Amino acid sequence: MRVLVALSGGVDSSVAAAELRRAGHEVEAVTLRLWGGPSDSGCCSVSDVEDARRVAAQLGVEHHVFDFSDRFTERVVEPYVADHAVGRTPNPCVECNRHLKFDALLDRADVLGFDTVATGHHARIVDRAGVASVARGADAAKDQSYVLHPLLDPDTRRVLFPVGGMTKRRVREVARSLGLRTADKPDSQDVCFITASEGRAAFLSSRAALHPGEVVDTDGRVVGRTEAVELVTIGQRRGLSLAGGGGRRYVLDVDVPARRVVVGPPERLRRDHVRISEVAWNGPVPTGPVLVQVSAHGVVRPATVEGTDPGASTAVLRWDEPSPRVAPGQSVVVYDGDVVVGGGVALP
């Protein structure tokens, strides 16, 4: 089989390429140039491209570089900025997978005559009642099925995750045994286009207006101020410089137009359901109990799907027990056991 491996310059994709070579496939590697600005947090830096090139040379596979930077800016960076401007909490890694790695890259692979695309993600592809589906990887601590939830059948049939059945420890052991230069390279951070030195606030302030605002309690009394309401997230506790006393207080609501953040005790965060939009189901809509995850490595909670049909763009997930409110804009992913069956975006 002719396989195009997305080689990021990290250890996981390096071992993915090595495993495919060992299995006898015809392998070529590609590194995606996504972000043209500064990067020091992995997967987009100049050093990562060089690491990928050297790993490809070690493995004896041809190495390409595809420049998808314009599409990355349009589909990932600009929506990220726009979401913050209206008080939403975006998931840039989800959108990168949706629009770049499993859209633009699959299209390019088709044009070049590859049978399939492989990545170093910690996830698996399984058959669920005849539907090719993303499932959790073997290493629960490194599982990336959440950020891969937009990948649906039939595209799922064109993707391989060679390290999905391995623990991260095993991945590094394999890399060391092969003498790969990435064997002990640290994992990259999620938001590759925000540098550690610059930070989120500086990145966003250079691209959108940020506004100071007041922080009030549930009775409307001012208890603090924030330098930028656009940077505050539902459920946040730290970084608000609140007046002392009153016990633990969390962000209950963010009103960007009013320049106001409401805080209160944790029990005021709890809801009995979450409404989601942009819903996509991979196969039949689930009718019984499901498991739901609302952040990349968050707690998995039981729920039931309500108020939807196969063509609906919205759905309601009813929690078995009241759960913390999900920040608008966050990806909400639905599982049947370890298998992703669908997902969407949290509504206010």
Burial tier of 262 (Cβ tally within 10 Å: 0-12, 13-18, 19+): buried
Cα separation of 173 and 177, whole Å?
Answer: 6
Query: Residue 291's pLDDT is what?
Result: 98
Average model confidence (pLDDT) across the chain? 93
Read off the pLDDT of residues 119-135 as tens digits, 9 standing for 90 and up. Answer: 999 999 999 999 999 99
User: Band of the pLDDT at 309, cuts 50, 70, 90?
Assistant: low
Locus of tokens 């589906």: 133
What's the mean pLDDT in 255-271? 95
Tokens of 107: 């299209």
Per the annotation, the verdict on 93 as an active-site residue is no
**How many angstroms separate the first and last alpha carbons of the chain?**
46
User: Band of the pLDDT at 38, cuts 50, 70, 90?
Assistant: low
Q: Is 269-346 in the same CATH topology as 2-120+162-177?
A: no
Query: Residue 46's pLDDT is what?
Result: 67
Question: Which of 330, 298, 261 shows the shortest CA–CA distance to 89?
Answer: 330
pTM for the whole structure: 0.93
CATH superfamily ID and name for 2-120+162-177: HUPs (3.40.50.620)
Query: Residue 195's pLDDT is what?
Result: 82
What topology does CATH give the domain 269-346? Elongation Factor Tu (Ef-tu); domain 3 (2.40.30)
- The conformation of residue 58, written as its DSSP 8-state character, comes to H
Tokens of 302: 């039981």
Per the annotation, the verdict on 192 as an active-site residue is yes
Catalytic: which of 43, 44, 93, 96? 96
Task: Break the chain into its structural domains and give their ranges.
Answer: 2-120+162-177, 213-264, 269-346
Catalytic: which of 43, 44, 93, 192? 192
